[in-house]
Amino acid sequence: MRKPSATPERRTNHLTRKFVAEMSQKAKRHAEFVSEMTGLPNPRAFDERSTSPFVAMSDVENLKPINDRFGHSVGDMLIRRFAEVLTSVGLDAYHHLGGTFLCKAESYQELNAKLSEARQILRQQPFSVYDVDGRVIAIESTEFSFGIGTTVEEAEVFLGQQKKLRESESGK
């Protein structure tokens, strides 16, 4: 003979089963549209949400040297920091891949102004991270390039041009 349980049997409690199934579905759906690293919407969310007249693609510069010198955990912290700055200036930002982000806006001027503001913040506000040995490191300044267009492809072309321009300027 079974002894009585203080809680209802899960298999016979259909409301609990339905609730758990719905929560599981919501969690899966959320994961499909959110970058695990940054918590920002991902490329799938970018594609499925409403369109906008202008998009920007931005890319954190020198991410590979930072990863090589301090470890991937520091590079990941830098990516998360960049995501925070993009949202803090009011951008509709999406984590694309690695150190690359997409943004949407109603005008070129809005994207340019907000991305320029993000650039100033990253230049002026150092942040501390821990390296693989547990030492605190201050990242003094972070740079990124961005391109703006009416499509992702166009923004990517302009991003490439900006990177080449910045490389040629730093080589002088």
Q: Give the model confidence (pLDDT) of 91-119 as tens digits.
A: 999 999 999 999 999 999 999 999 999 99
Whether the per-residue pLDDT at 28 is higher than 50: the answer is no
Distance between CA 131 and CA 122 in Å, rounded?
Answer: 19
Average pLDDT of span 14-37: 63
Mean pLDDT of the chain: 84
Per-residue confidence band for 30, with pLDDT thresholds at 50, 70 and 90: very low
Tens of pLDDT, residue by residue over 66-75, are 888 888 888 8
To which residue do tokens 């470890």 refer? 71
The domains found in the chain, sorted by start residue, are 32-170 (3.30.70.270)
The reported pLDDT for the residue numbered 40 is 95
Take residue 45 and report the two structure tokens written for it: 């969310």
Whether the per-residue pLDDT at 123 is higher than 70: the answer is yes
DSSP 141: -
Which strands, in side-by-side order, build the sheet including 92-97?
92-97, 100-105, 54-60, 144-149
pTM: 0.77
Average pLDDT of span 77-81: 92
